[in-house]
Amino acid sequence: MTNATRARITHWIGRDVRDPVGEKIGSVEQLWFDDEDGSPTWVSVRTGLFGLRQSFLPIQGLTEGPDGELRTTCTKDQVKDAPSVDASDEHLDPAEEQRLYSHYGVTGGAGRQERADTGRADTGQRASAGHDVSGPDTDDAMTRSEERLRVGTEQHEAGRVRLRKYVVTETEQVSVPVRREEVRVEREPITGANRGAALSGPDISEEEHEVTLREERPVVETEAVPVERVRLAKEQVTDTETVSGEVRKERIDTEGDVPGARRDSGR
């Protein structure tokens, strides 16, 4: 593998990895290379809700897209169910690596497999003549990194509200004015004006006069009248919730017996 290829693959650290259908699996945490020929073998991917777990993923079938994201031919469930391997060790145990190969169903041939059994974690960890005694040639500075929480939101259904119309019966009282007729007896003396009518009948007789009395009675009926329109409207309110997660930070100390050496563990 050329230095240019190695440098390009080393830049995969921190890149997102997605499965064939586009689901995000995690982000690359470490690269693993063969001790003998330097060929890439594995990447460890930080997975889980807060990225607290590292799962091993074969370098075979891992490609870089134009957007910088990495695509693998393995499914998200395959990576999630991969055998647990301690990514903090410097070398992969041969038995652990064999379980990984069996899980993913990939091989590199007998010769390659034998060399891959001695693979180790990479930040470019092959012997070099540079200042970095644990890796390749570097400049005179060391990079200190730290993890930071990435917090976002996602929408979930919180409940449903519906309008339902039903009928209730109530009793109302209304005062209604009603009219009725009553009989009043009126008497008038015999005068010249009414004498003719008064003497038109027999002198002495029996008579009956009948008067019909009328009255009003309340009549009750109902009619449906629209009174208002009702609808459901949504509005957004903003609350504040506190989330927490564990992050790792690198610290840099000085070692040695040089007088005047200062210890700086970083911020």
Mean pLDDT value across residues 29-54: 76
Distance CA 104, CA 83 (A): 10
Contact call for residues 55 and 47 (beta carbons, < 8 A): yes
Confidence of residue 177 (pLDDT cuts 50, 70, 90): very high
> pLDDT at position 255, please?
76
Distance CA 145, CA 9 (A): 19
Tens of pLDDT, residues 201-245: 888 888 888 999 999 999 999 999 999 999 999 998 999 999 898
Q: Is the dihedral of CA 123, 129, 133, 137 positive or negative?
A: negative
Distance CA 51, CA 151 (A): 12
**Range from 35-44, 184-193, 258-267 carrying the lowest mean pLDDT:** 258-267
Tens of pLDDT, residues 121-156: 443 333 333 445 444 555 678 888 898 888 888 888
Contact call for residues 250 and 265 (beta carbons, < 8 A): no
Backbone angles phi, psi at 115, to 5 degrees: -70, -35
- To the question of pTM greater than 0.85 for the whole model, the response is no
